[in-house]
A and B are shown apart, each in its own frame.
Chain A
């Protein structure tokens, strides 16, 4: 299973764009990159998933370079409610494989 490395923590002011980068140097051909958000005492919540290039949805964008050895989650104009832990996970496309969590990035949004 590909190992991921993220910054332990980040701080941002409200209204700013936040970019969290994740390294996954040994990503395999079948692996997708998925980001989850977790609030205290809640289960993780899916944010976005991608395989290559750029993916955008209503809450975030995911940038993946051609070599796929890293990815960047971009949160536009964060608010206080975006304060959470963000996990980058790498796993294959088939549903029988569990997702293995790294340490995540604790994002603190300041007013």
Chain B
């Protein structure tokens, strides 16, 4: 079945530094990918929609200059948390849907990235 892979699975960084998270669709092309954030014991919150070859669409309240998204190819989207602070510590999850634009697509999720800012 289709697989979405995230890297790294876990990262610890110092406050003020930037961290890049990669999301790859391993055996299918994804013109659209989605980024979510999840705090402990909470649900997934949609942050942005990543579009290949164009600017990402951010949800209300998500700072686009802080969470930089690049979707440079049909199999890779990256999320960069810039100038990270402890409150950015969270579980970040990406998702991609197979055959975007066709009927009845299934969404696959990466394994998530645990970011801890110290």
Contacts and interface: CB of A to CB of B under 8 A. Distances in A.
Contact of A96 (B46, B100, B103): B100
Interface in A34-53: 34, 36, 41-46, 49
Interface residues on B, range: 20 to 34
A95 B6 CA distance: 20
Given A43-B93, A43-B112, A94 B44 contact: no
Interface stretch (A18-26, A63-71, A101-109): A101-109
Interface in B96-118: 97-112, 114
A95 B32 CA distance: 8
B112 A42 contact: yes
B106 A93 contact: no
Contacts of A93: 103-105
B55 to A, nearest CB: 15
A95 B28 CA distance: 13
B77 interface: no
Given A43-B93, A46-B107, A87 B43 contact: yes
B34 A46 contact: no
Contacts of A10: none
B43 A49 contact: no
B43 A102 contact: yes
A99 B94 CA distance: 11
Contacts of A104: 43
B75 interface: no
B112 A95 contact: no
B102 A41 contact: no
B80 to A, nearest CB: 20
A25 to B, nearest CB: 19
B78 interface: no
A95 B101 contact: yes
A41 B114 CA distance: 8
Interface hub of A36, A44, A103 (most chain B Cβ within 10 A): A44
8 A-B pairs closest in CB distance: A95-B100, A43-B109, A95-B105, A95-B97, A101-B44, A98-B34, A101-B43, A43-B112
Interface of A: 32, 34, 36, 41-46, 49, 87, 93-96, 98-104
